[in-house]
Amino acid sequence: MTAVVCRRCGATNRVDLEKAEKGLQPVCGRCKAVLTTTSDVLEVNEARFDEQVLGSPLPVLLDVWATWCAPCRGMAPVIEELASSLAGRLRVAKLDVDQNPAAAARLRIQGVPTLILFREGREVTRMIGARAKGDILAALADLV
């Protein structure tokens, strides 16, 4: 079993990957939308943060979030859409603050959700709080 966030409503669903691999389509328990078990979003952790984010040849939009945060869950579909639409120009990654407290402290995270854009290993911009896709794209327009 694995947890899959619904792109439509942001609900977290438990999905049996063996059944999904056999062709059965998992659906969201809340809104009944078809769930995708693959993602363009990279899950990062403390151990590989430097390699995956700071060492990336592409700019990285890091979504710092927490499972208990309703605005974070609400932004999940937007983050997935950004990862798909900007693939090849931008890497989108997620960092769970509860599972990676040292990385969150290193980044001086004071609230979630927080979006941080890194380019060539340096922080370029930071957005705190839930944002609409258009707002995020506008903030990234000159930077990516």
Q: What is the pLDDT of residues 75-90, one digit of tens each?
A: 999 998 898 888 778 8
Same domain, 14 and 27: yes
* Rounded percentage of the chain residues whose pLDDT exceeds 90: 61
Q: With contact defined as beta carbons under 8 Å apart, do 31 and 6 qualify?
A: yes
Whether residue 6 sits in one domain with residue 61: no
31 among known catalytic residues: no
**3-state secondary structure at position 108:** coil
Same domain, 20 and 73: no
The reported pTM is 0.75
* Matching residue, tokens 């609409």: 132
Average pLDDT, the chain: 89
Q: Residue 128 is part of a domain; what is its CATH number?
A: 3.40.30.10
By CB atoms closer than 10 A (0-12, 13-18, 19+), residue 11 is middle
Question: Do 29 and 76 have their domain in common?
Answer: no
**Whose structure tokens read 């794209």?**
137
Dig out the tokens for 135 from the structure.
């707002």
72 is catalytic: yes
Question: Which of 6, 9, 31, 69 is flagged as catalytic?
Answer: 69
The 10s digit of each residue's pLDDT in 86-121 is 877 889 999 999 999 999 999 999 999 999 999 999
Distance (Å, rounded) from C-alpha 78 to C-alpha 90?
A: 15
Q: What pLDDT does 39 receive?
A: 65
Considering the candidates 9, 28, 31, 72, report the single residue annotated as catalytic: 72
Q: What's the confidence (pLDDT) of residue 53?
A: 95
